């Protein structure tokens, strides 16, 4: 057998082998399971490859995963080559999971084959009446230093109910319980978190359940992004200055906190003596602005801050700073002041001239009186007396 015959023989073998791998249908994945990891939100979805594909070495196998809450039409879809997938879920409702097999490449002649869907529904624990779970959870992170979460009792919560809060994030090895409850008349109505408990840009999962002599309490689940719940401290050290062009210059300092200065934006409010508050949003992260004002008017200013869109998706405004006021004198007031000073200088000058005139008049009168007396005395005595009297008069003046 020559070389050409040998090559043709192996080509036929390879063609037959590839033809034997060609698929006209694909089986769905097997043993689809959903497992709660105990982290108050994340669930692990696992499955096995179809048995019919275990020997198909030329097939490129992937999986289309679709999941959402049972009453939602906005399902997420993920394509993966792995046999498991983990994501966070809203555990207040059931979770519907669907999965199918995708095959292409040589074993399908380049076209993609899709299996039927397999699906399952995972139901988190739903013990207790729905109206027994807490309502209206509100969490605020104060200046990245601590967080307070408060809630209201359920609509049908028993009088002896005891709520408990548990939380988890990716830096924790296991779920933690609140160690500093906020109480009202002996009932837990909130939790105070220290700075060490907080984490940004990661899911912060919370579960609030409880107990009562009347029966179980329905758990409530929440997933928070703490960077969206930050309330910064109010700006301080507001400085107001004015110019002769009827302009107010406003400057302030960012609040002292762990929040970077470039993450803040500000709102300035101002009003005149008889006007309402007007607002001005300041471009990030500027800490000064100017205002045009009416001459001879009093203006008051206050400033507040929040996290800008580059550091959070949502934000909470700080409290307002203390109010600072400034009275601006107009140019007409300055002119009046100048005129008053000029008048005062004229009056003072006239007064000085008057005093000088009185002094010289007194000297002249004394000299004339002494000359009349001197006519009766010797010339020498007259001259001496005139000198002495004149000297004394100058000294008195």
Q: What is the CATH number of the domain that holds 44?
A: 2.60.40.10
Q: 23 Cβ partners below 8 Å, 6+ apart?
A: 56, 59, 103, 107, 108, 113
- Domain identity same for 22 and 85: yes
Question: How many domains does one find in the chain?
Answer: 4
Q: What is the DSSP string of 318-364?
A: PPPPPPEEEE---HHHHHHHHHHHHHHHHHHHHHHHHHHHHHHHHHH
Q: 187 Cβ partners below 8 Å, 6+ apart?
A: 153, 161, 162, 163
Q: pLDDT value at position 396?
A: 44
- Domain identity same for 27 and 103: yes
- Domain identity same for 210 and 252: no
Phi, psi of 216 (to 5 degrees): -70, 160
Residue ending a domain, among 329, 363, 388, is: 329
Asked whether 148 and 142 are in contact (CB, 8 A), the reply is yes
Angle (CA) 19-24-29 rounded to 5° is 115
Tell me the pTM.
Answer: 0.72
For residues 25 and 286, what is the distance between their CA atoms, to the nearest angstrom?
A: 63
The answer to whether the bond into 285 is cis (omega within 30° of 0) is yes
With residue 19 as reference, give the H or E element that holds it: helix 3-21
- Domain identity same for 322 and 349: no
- Domain identity same for 16 and 118: yes
The alpha carbon torsion through 287, 291, 296, 302 (nearest 10 deg) reads -50
- Domain identity same for 197 and 296: no
For residues 304 and 318, what is the distance between their CA atoms, to the nearest angstrom?
A: 6
- Domain identity same for 56 and 11: yes
Angle (CA) 86-139-135 rounded to 5° is 85
Residue 237 CA to chain centroid, in angstroms?
20
b/e burial code for range 224-250 (CB count within 10 A of at least 16 → b): bebbbbbbbbbbeebebebeeebebeb
Residue ending a domain, among 64, 97, 122, is: 122
- Domain identity same for 390 and 341: yes
Q: Which domain holds residue 323?
A: 233-329
Asked whether 209 and 42 are in contact (CB, 8 A), the reply is no
**Long-range contact pairs involving 172-176 (C-beta distance under 8 Å, separation at least 24):** 174/38, 175/38, 175/39, 175/40, 175/207
Q: 377 Cβ partners below 8 Å, 6+ apart?
A: 385
Q: pLDDT value at position 65?
A: 97
Sign of CA dihedral 355, 359, 360, 365: positive
Q: pLDDT value at position 333?
A: 45
Q: pLDDT value at position 375?
A: 63
- Domain identity same for 309 and 353: no
Residues of the chain with confidence (pLDDT) below 50: 7-20, 329-334, 336, 380-382, 386, 389-390, 392-397
- Domain identity same for 171 and 96: no
Coil vs helix vs strand at 84: strand
Q: pLDDT value at position 73?
A: 86
Residue 181 CA to chain centroid, in angstroms?
25
- Domain identity same for 114 and 16: yes
β 135-142/230-231 pair status: parallel
Phi, psi of 263 (to 5 degrees): -95, 5
Asked whether 229 and 143 are in contact (CB, 8 A), the reply is no
Q: What is the DSSP string of 244-306?
A: TTSEEEEEEEPPSSSS-GGGEEEEEEEE-TTS--EEEEEPTT--EEEEE--TT-EEEEEEEEE
> Measuring CA to CA, which residue among 127, 105, 101, 129 is closest to residue 115?
101
Q: pLDDT value at position 298?
A: 75
Residue ending a domain, among 329, 345, 375, is: 329
Percentage of the chain beyond pLDDT 90 is 46
Q: pLDDT value at position 182?
A: 97
- Domain identity same for 10 and 114: yes
């Amino acid at each position: 057998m020559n070389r050409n015959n040998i090559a043709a023989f192996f080509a036929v073998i390879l063609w037959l082998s590839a033809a034997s791998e060609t698929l006209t249908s694909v089986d769905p994945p097997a043993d689809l399971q959903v497992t709660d990891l105990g982290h108050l939100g994340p669930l692990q979805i696992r499955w096995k490859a179809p048995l019919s594909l275990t020997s198909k070495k030329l097939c490129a196998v992937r999986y289309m995963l679709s999941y959402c809450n049972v009453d939602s039409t906005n399902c997420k879809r993920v394509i993966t080559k792995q046999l498991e997938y983990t994501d966070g879920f809203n555990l207040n409702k059931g979770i519907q999971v669907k999965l199918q097999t995708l095959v292409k490449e040589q074993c399908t002649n380049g076209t993609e084959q899709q299996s039927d869907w397999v699906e399952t529904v995972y139901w988190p624990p739903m013990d207790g009446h729905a109206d027994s779970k807490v309502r209206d959870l509100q969490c605020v992170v104060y200046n990245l230093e601590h967080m307070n979460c408060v809630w209201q009792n359920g609509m049908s919560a028993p009088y002896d109910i005891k709520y408990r809060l548990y939380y988890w994030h990716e830096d924790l090895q296991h779920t933690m319980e609140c160690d500093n409850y906020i109480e009202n008349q002996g009932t837990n109505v909130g939790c105070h978190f220290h700075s060490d408990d907080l984490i940004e840009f990661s899911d912060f999962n919370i579960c609030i359940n409880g107990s009562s002599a009347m029966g179980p309490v329905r758990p409530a689940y929440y997933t928070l992004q703490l960077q969206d719940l930050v309330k910064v401290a109010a700006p301080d050290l507001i400085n107001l200055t004015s110019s002769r062009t009827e302009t107010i210059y406003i400057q302030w300092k960012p609040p002292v906190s762990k929040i970077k200065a470039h993450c803040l934006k500000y709102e300035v409010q101002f009003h005149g003596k008889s006007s309402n508050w007007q607002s001005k949003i300041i471009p990030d992260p500027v800490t000064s602005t100017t205002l045009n004002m009416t001459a001879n008017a009093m203006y008051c200013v206050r400033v507040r801050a929040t996290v800008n869109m580059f550091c959070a998706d949502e934000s909470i405004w700080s409290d307002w700073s203390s109010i600072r006021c400034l009275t601006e004198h107009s140019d007409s007031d300055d002119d009046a002041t100048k005129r008053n000073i000029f008048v005062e200088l004229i009056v003072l000058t006239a007064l000085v001239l008057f005093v000088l005139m009185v002094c010289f008049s007194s000297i002249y009168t004394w000299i004339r009186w002494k000359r009349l007396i001197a006519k009766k005395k010797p010339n020498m005595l007259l001259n001496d007396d005139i000198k002495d009297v004149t000297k004394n008069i100058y000294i008195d003046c």
